[in-house]
Amino acid sequence: MPVLGRSRTAEISLPWEARRLKDRIGPSVRVLFVGINPGVRSATIGHHFAGYSNRFWKLLYEARLVPERLRAEDDERLPAFGYGITNLVPRPTPGIDTLRPAEYFAGLAALKRKVRRWQPQIVAFVGVTLFRSVFNIPSGRPIALGLQEQERFEGARVFVLPNPSGRNANFSYGEMLEAFRRLRAYDSRLRAYRSKAPGFRLRARHRPED
């Protein structure tokens, strides 16, 4: 049986409210997935997108972003496939209603530093609400899923994905899968064009928010 390090043992002894998830980022990351903040189960087990109804890992596989089925417990393997995960706000909560404006402000500053450091080609915001908060977009303005042609985040291209939580009634699973497939297609095209013609600007068709 493996022996846990002192820091890991101390972390496990903490209540879920006091735990923080580790970012899964590395120098090979092309696409950085950004969630708004961890949920209760993610904080409890120490892995991203771990909610029982969350379809993130299923969508990754069925969209062919990864070649094998992964679970939340496999999140540390994502950088090997060119993907990373972080959250805007590190504090876990059952929902987002209790997140404070100061946490958003501090989280945005931290996210900018991470993107400048690791330089992913694409920052994929997982959730329309998250994208609105980062870019200060009013709720009455429709948001298209997919590539945001007019936006950059610290130099990275910006992609909007639907929140894959089972509580998200705004999108069907088919619509979620289509958005993740479009991310895979755009990532593949971007890699191909960057190798042949640096600076070539790709365009992608958008899909309405609702």
Res 134 pLDDT > 70: yes
> What's the mean pLDDT in 84-107?
93
Q: What is the pTM of this model?
A: 0.86
List domains and CATH numbers for the chain: 36-77+94-196 (3.40.470.10)
Question: For residue 93, what are the contacts with CB-CB under 8 A and spacing of at least 6?
Answer: 37, 39, 40, 99
> What's the mean pLDDT in 124-146?
95
Both structure tokens of 133: 């908060």
Res 18 pLDDT > 90: no
What is the pLDDT at residue 17? 67
What is the pLDDT at residue 199? 53
DSSP per-residue codes, 60-114: HHHTTSSSS---GGGGGGGGGGTEEEEESS-S--SSSTT--HHHHHHHHHHHHHH
Q: In what order do the strands lie in the sheet with 83-87?
A: 83-87, 31-35, 122-126, 156-161, 146-153
Both structure tokens of 194: 């960057």
The CA R_g of the chain, rounded to the nearest whole Å, is 17
**pLDDT higher at 199 or 56:** 56
